[in-house]
Structure 1
Amino acid sequence: MPSFLRRTLTRLAPLVALALAAPPVAAAPRVTTFALENGMQGVVIEDHRAPVVTHMVWYRVGAADEPRGKSGIAHFLEHLMFKGTDKIPDAAFSRIIAANGGQDNAFTSYDYTAYFQRLAADRLELAMEMEADRMRNLRLSEEQVRTERDVVLEERSQRTDSDPFALFSEQRGAALYLNHPYGIPVIGWRHEVAALTRDDALAFYRTWYAPDNAILVVAGDVDPAEVERLARKHYGPLAPSHPPERARPQEPRQLAARRIEYADARVRQPYVVRSYLAPARRQDQARAAALAVLAEILGGGPAARLQQALTIGSDLAVGVGAWYEADRRDPGAFTLYAAPRPGRSLAEVEAAMDRVIADFLASDGPSDEELARVKAGARADLIYAQDSQQAMAQMYGAGLAAGLTLEQIRSWPDAIAAVDAEDVMEAARALFDKRRSVTGWLTGAEDAAAPVGAAPPEDAPAARPLVESGAAQ
């Protein structure tokens, strides 16, 4: 998605002036909701520009809801959901969607698991019928489970175990969370994934995969009344499972700053990353909006303070950035990073990063120009998000599945627009406490054998919009 990271300093002044003088953005898509008697929630987002539809089912369960010692089971079950039912043969789900000119996929995050199909609007009932079928009628053999477990282990080998940036990210996450399951990787620890069984998968499935734990999101060229009729026909007869409350272990008071260092011969470009525990948006939207603005002021583009102090205004770093995980169900992370130039040390760029934070806390806060820049970028992100059918579906699905209300989702742009300098400073003072932080150094070895080149942290988004278009992981 285009981002205000792409704007240059020379374009900043006219862009801000235009944003401040411009009329309100185009009216948001029409969003309607309904609820089925079995507890399923429905959201319809109308988009009549093309005869296509995005059909999504979001389950309010993710990696952070797994039984202790069963890490990776949420992601493993996502794979197994494509194995078939009495009606749909093994592995035929995606082939049927493709034969009807559509695309489908699924993804697992800490707070939700989602399945989607994008296809012609007149094929909506097909997608709904198939998705409703596998919501309660999945069939698994021991052989299917063994085979797919090997697939997941190979996925971990390729995406995590062979990637120093991913391994470093895992270690930082485990250090940031003393007690909360956010410290466990979504894909799971290898030794626990290797021990997952058919019984584990079916127990998780039967507990969480049911209409009263699901959100249906349909976006596209549809009539809301017809969507509700089809939902009642296909999802309405399914029995609820009455899942348990999502009672997760929470963080104790964090009393000590933590530091880690990970060295890997494949790393050519070292970097330092600092993550602070930060409140979730669902708990305090106004504070979350202020933190989102703070992240952009510090690390969002060439005019940001880290850029000016460490890259544009000096020869310390080749890359810097900041981002905030606003949309997790429980407290997430506010993260900054810096990658030193050749000849500069990690200690030097970390000290410079700390000076930027200290100078900001000692200042009067962001200038009017900085606030205007960030809000202009947020305005642009909103326009682009509304132009994407799937982005809008993800915005509502991910938000609701992570515990946001419809009003919080709708009013996020207004929350960003309402942030003032004092809001940002209050958020910064509460955030920047090193006792609630982890600082990590990723370094190479002198005999680097397979350099992977300069890269930002594995979990650093290239462009993190303040008006979220949804998150898929």
Structure 2
Amino acid sequence: MNCSRALRPLTLLTCAFVSSSGFAAKTAANQNTQIALKLPPGATMTAVGKAIEGTPDVYRFKLANGMKVLILPDNRNPLATLRIKLDAGSNREKPGTTGLAHFFEHMMFRKTQVTPEGYYDRILAGVGGRGNAGTSTDYVVYESSFPGPALDKLLTVESQRFKFLDLQDPYFTTEKGAVISERRLRYENDPLQRGQEILRKAAYRGTPYEWLTIGAKKDVELMSIEEARSFYRDFYTPDNAQLFLGGPFNVETALQKINDTFGDWQGKIKNNTSRRAERPEQEVAGKEFVCSENIFEEQHSIVFPSNDNSYRSSILAQVLMQILNDNPDGTIQRRMTKQKLATAFAVYKTTWQKNSQPYVAWFKLNKQQSFEAARDYFYKELQAALSRPMTQELKSVLLKQQEVEESDVAQKMTSLVEFYEWNEFFYGDFRVSGQTKKIIEDLTTKEFQTWGRNAFSPKKAFRTGVTAPGKAMPCSEFEKTASLPK
């Protein structure tokens, strides 16, 4: 799941024009100096700015092939961070070919058409760096950290993976086998995960969110090389990618190096059907998708569908959680634990790119605890939180909490890059967190109450849960029954 994050706003810088000579001029709002950048042919500078005071500006460009590039010049330490994120998560898949997005998280570390097997890992290890990858419903991201002087080597080897991946046996079959083994270990042999997969299929039926990121068992087992090549061709394209580089670099020089290595990457993303994240509200409102497995701790969620994917709504969800936690007896999770109502609890807004973003109340219970009791306590505390006046004193507390989070992120360049990257990918502007302070300062009691009572209306919510045996139908039966909620 992707849970929203935010920081308070600070100085934003203005981005000027790109001239026909290939130079971009940028004037800082709080400076009298002007900086000219020479850009590669066809490239444009689309934004420059910051959202955290005392940190370097971020520069955003678009290469001639459509690839988005963001650079954060940070000289506080000699290490660099490179993150390449593609809108190629599991919601790009279709029934029958699920699991392809996650498969590439494995395959991208094998050989390319121009480099031998294991070359990427050897280059990265040789310069003292490290790399990783991750897949979600919305994206796949490839990340690496390395000493700044190794930038040329890393850009070269990274670009080769995206332009020339060699999708053939024996490597395809080897990595497919690795995914099958991973799925068996993490999902098929885990009762909780097995149950949640069944419930997800029921609750999100008819949408690309009904299957796990790792893919359906049968689809993974039957995955073909041609299907993988098609996915790579359709979605591993420059206009579907954003590259974020942070480290001790000159912006102009770094941009030129990126263009030299990625500028000849060709391809256009394949247009596909709309990726509707949720079933129509009337299909799921009031439904309970609950089954039992042989587990020690239960997990339950109350899902509140929402069509509001604005940044403001994610901030209001954070404000609500902060108010729920602002209590002399401790956070709401601590209070629920102390009263033996739950072992863990959270409220958050799911972040799905360009899609509906439901609010979720999540509970973890032991076998002796009652979901109904935990649910009733949450609704009671929710009403109390929404009834609290939005006073200046409360706003000061909320803003102070944002400043603390901001300070934590700003201290580490890798965290700063990931934070800005998140904003850019999900909200289309790395500076969007600059709205946070104003959102909180302008928030009225009535606006907060209206939002909260609509967002968390029990009438439109549905429940998912995996319980201990005896509390609900076994998940294996739930999956087969004709009475499966429709």
Range of TM-score over shorter length: 0.7 to 0.9
Task: Say whether 1:83 aligns with 2:110.
Answer: yes
List aligned pairs for 1:87-236, cutoff 5 A: 87-236=114-263
Mind listing any 5+ residue stretches in structure 1 that lack a counterpart? 1-23, 447-473
Q: For residue 323 of structure 1, what is the aligned residue in structure 2? A: 348
Q: Structure 1 residue 353: deviation in Å?
A: 2.5
Is 1:278–1:431's contact at 8 Å kept on the other side of the alignment?
yes
Deviates more, 1:31-40 or 1:396-405: 396-405
Task: Say whether 1:293 aligns with 2:319.
Answer: yes
Q: Which has the larger radius of gyration?
A: 2
CA pair 202-164 structure 1, distance change in 2 beyond 3 A = same
2-structure distance, mates of 1:424, 1:401 = 27
Mind listing any 5+ residue stretches in structure 2 that lack a counterpart? 1-50, 471-486
Q: For residue 373 of structure 2, what is the aligned residue in structure 1? A: 348
What SS does the aligned partner of 1:406 have?
coil
CA pair 410-162 structure 1, distance change in 2 beyond 3 A = farther
CA pair 104-364 structure 1, distance change in 2 beyond 3 A = closer
RMSD of aligned Cα (Å): 2.8
What SS does the aligned partner of 1:186 have?
coil
What residue identity is the alignment partner of 1:197? S
1-structure distance, mates of 2:366, 2:110 = 49
Q: For residue 296 of structure 2, what is the aligned residue in structure 1? A: 268
What SS does the aligned partner of 1:295 have?
helix
What residue identity is the alignment partner of 2:320? L
2-structure distance, mates of 1:211, 1:52 = 26
Q: Structure 1 residue 168: deviation in Å?
A: 4.3
Q: Structure 1 residue 160: deviation in Å?
A: 2.2
2-structure distance, mates of 1:248, 1:68 = 13
Deviates more, 1:83-92 or 1:158-167: 158-167
Q: Structure 1 residue 222: deviation in Å?
A: 1.0
1-structure distance, mates of 2:267, 2:326 = 45
Deviates more, 1:141-150 or 1:420-429: 420-429
CA pair 212-273 structure 1, distance change in 2 beyond 3 A = closer
Structure 2 residue corresponding to 1:425, chosen from 449, 460, 463: 449
CA pair 318-126 structure 1, distance change in 2 beyond 3 A = same
1-structure distance, mates of 2:134, 2:112 = 20
Is 1:53–1:120's contact at 8 Å kept on the other side of the alignment?
yes
1-structure distance, mates of 2:58, 2:114 = 33
What residue identity is the alignment partner of 2:315? A
Q: Structure 1 residue 442: deviation in Å?
A: 3.1
Number of equivalences:
418
What residue identity is the alignment partner of 2:359? F
2-structure distance, mates of 1:300, 1:209 = 45
What residue identity is the alignment partner of 1:48? N
Q: For residue 310 of structure 1, what is the aligned residue in structure 2? A: 336
1-structure distance, mates of 2:264, 2:369 = 64
What SS does the aligned partner of 1:117 have?
strand
CA pair 416-118 structure 1, distance change in 2 beyond 3 A = farther
What residue identity is the alignment partner of 2:345? V
What SS does the aligned partner of 2:96 have?
coil
CA pair 195-212 structure 1, distance change in 2 beyond 3 A = same
Deviates more, 1:398-407 or 1:211-220: 398-407
CA pair 147-300 structure 1, distance change in 2 beyond 3 A = farther
2-structure distance, mates of 1:368, 1:165 = 44
Structure 2 residue corresponding to 1:257, chosen from 270, 281, 286: 286
Q: Structure 1 residue 343: deviation in Å?
A: 5.0
Deviates more, 1:239-248 or 1:156-165: 239-248
Q: Structure 1 residue 326: deviation in Å?
A: 3.8
Q: Structure 1 residue 226: deviation in Å?
A: 0.9
TM-score, normalised on structure 2?
A: 0.78
What residue identity is the alignment partner of 1:124? L
CA pair 413-168 structure 1, distance change in 2 beyond 3 A = farther
2-structure distance, mates of 1:123, 1:301 = 50
Q: For residue 15 of structure 2, what is the aligned residue in structure 1? A: none
What SS does the aligned partner of 2:105 have?
helix
Deviates more, 1:154-163 or 1:297-306: 297-306
Is 1:70–1:193's contact at 8 Å kept on the other side of the alignment?
yes
The structure showing larger relative contact order (alpha-carbon pairs under 8 Å, at least 6 residues apart) is 1
Task: Say whether 1:389 aligns with 2:413.
Answer: yes
Is 1:112–1:402's contact at 8 Å kept on the other side of the alignment?
no
What SS does the aligned partner of 2:72 have?
strand
